[in-house]
Structure 1
Amino acid sequence: MAVLGLPEGGKCGHSWSLSWLIPILFSPQIQDRALGTMNAVIGIILLTAPKPYPNLEGALRGPVLQVSQGQKVTSLTACLVNQSLRLDCRHENTTTTPIQYEFSLTRETKKHVLFGTMGVPEHTYRSRTNFTSKYNIKVLYLSAFTNKDEGLYTCELRLSGQPSTVSSQNISVFRGQKVTSLTACLVNQSLRLDCRHENTTTTPIQYEFSLTRETKKHVLFGTMGVPEHTYRSRTNFTSKYNIKVLYLSAFTNKDEGLYTCELRLSGQPSTVSSQNISVFRDKLVTCEGISLLAQSTSWLLLLLLSLSLLQATDFIAL
């Protein structure tokens, strides 16, 4: 807080300049009455006097800022452990003041407190949550995670007794589009990429196949990025309930590199799931589906030949 002292007879619009500065440290009693939980407050009195410098006009005012540190949330991540959602809330811990915390879920603009020491957890979540805490991480498990638990999760920390020292991180959590595997094989001269994924959501799933060569990403096909012109005539795409298949024709050594299948829920840019696979032509195997088809065809031809031979034998016997 700055107190501006003007000489007697001074008026707004006159030219003033800073003449001297006197810092005054308020007593603890005044701190408690006037500023509550402030750690340290310095009052500054600015005394000014008229000077013949027209370019220095107006008055200076310096606000007092409270700086709190030691409980800042540095990251919030989410993953699935069996059927439980796990939230890892990492934070700083360089303060001796007790840290209060809260995990919450926001769905359709309504906030639901899951666990913590700040708000009151809702009854429906009390039997489903399990909490552990270490020096600089707080972990919450939410069991039996389903689509009804999708939404915006928040980890919020604050110093005990200081409601203005809040730090938080958010993460959007949706299930149903996780990529479970990405495989590659060769069909004649075409590369085939099988991207298998979960599909337990009603939200449309966006997808993208890409190739990274020498740190440069090339979009091959999908609904997220714009496919490069050179690949448009070489790609063929099919999709079923929980698998997306991309064919890249005329596959050569120039197409070797890191292939990626990336999925995300429509309208939810933070809900990304992906898998990578390094593809080299001399290490590619023949696709099993094609091999099985070839084997089936061979067995079918052998069976037909056998039947023909048997018929001929019967005819000779007659």
Structure 2
Amino acid sequence: MSATTIPGPRKDPAAAARLGARRRRADLLLRGFGFAATLLGLVFLVSILATLFWLGLGALNLTVFTKVTAPPGSEGGLLNAIVGSLVQVGIGTAVGTPIGMLVGTYLAEYARGSALGNAVRFVSDILLSAPSILIGLFVYQIMVVPFGGFSGWAGSVALAIIVIPIVVRTTEDMLSLVPNTLREAVIGLGAPKWKMVTLVCWRAAMSGIITGILLALARVAGETAPLLFTSLGNNGWNIDLARPYPSLPLAIYAYAGSPYEDWIALAWTGALIITLGVLGLNILARSVFRQK
């Protein structure tokens, strides 16, 4: 008994040609939209950077890095603001990074699918998308009001809170990309889980984790709103974190809206310094990890 052959659909060359032409037109249209969107984004980016360099380089000199803020019309710099930003960003990153890494590790390695892990992840995502000014108000209530004044410590805590959810999300995502076969191989050799996490998983995901830390650093380096409610700013030289503390974003915010030309020029220079600092840090980190 011969097998029954089911005839397939008849191929219409004309219909196939029309379908191919329609697909090519759709492909060209989408490519055109994508190219136009990319070009538009590059135009805005180049315009911003060009404006920043054009207006910021004019007042960029050695005085900016060697003198503190001076009254309008006097020759002043941004030394106090630069040092204040370095101190607060450094403390905030140093406090927020280990907390974020540990929480992200817990979510990726110990709490997958658990109710507690889902709750922690949900709270972290909410904190990640929360406006920074709300974090400033929160720290204002728990540190500024009870202690009776603005301080650099309060500003550092606000920046640390901003750092934590960024590092949490990046750490969890990078650890989730580590193959489970690698974990099984380490456990199969008899290593405890904490050694597997710290010596194998962290090492495998370190490049991505460092990238997340740099993203967090870039985010807090330009934050102004939370510092308005916490460290407030200081036009003089101050290394006492228990008092109102200067920072570069606050100086930019104050100078950019002033009626004095020299202060406006310093504001543009401060914005250029922040941009170059973040850009240089990212390039350095990428170069180091590419060599490894």
- Give the shorter-chain TM-score range: under 0.3
Larger radius of gyration: 1
Q: Which structure's relative contact order is higher, taking Cα pairs within 8 Å and 6+ residues apart?
A: 2
More strand by share: 1
TM-score (norm 2): 0.23
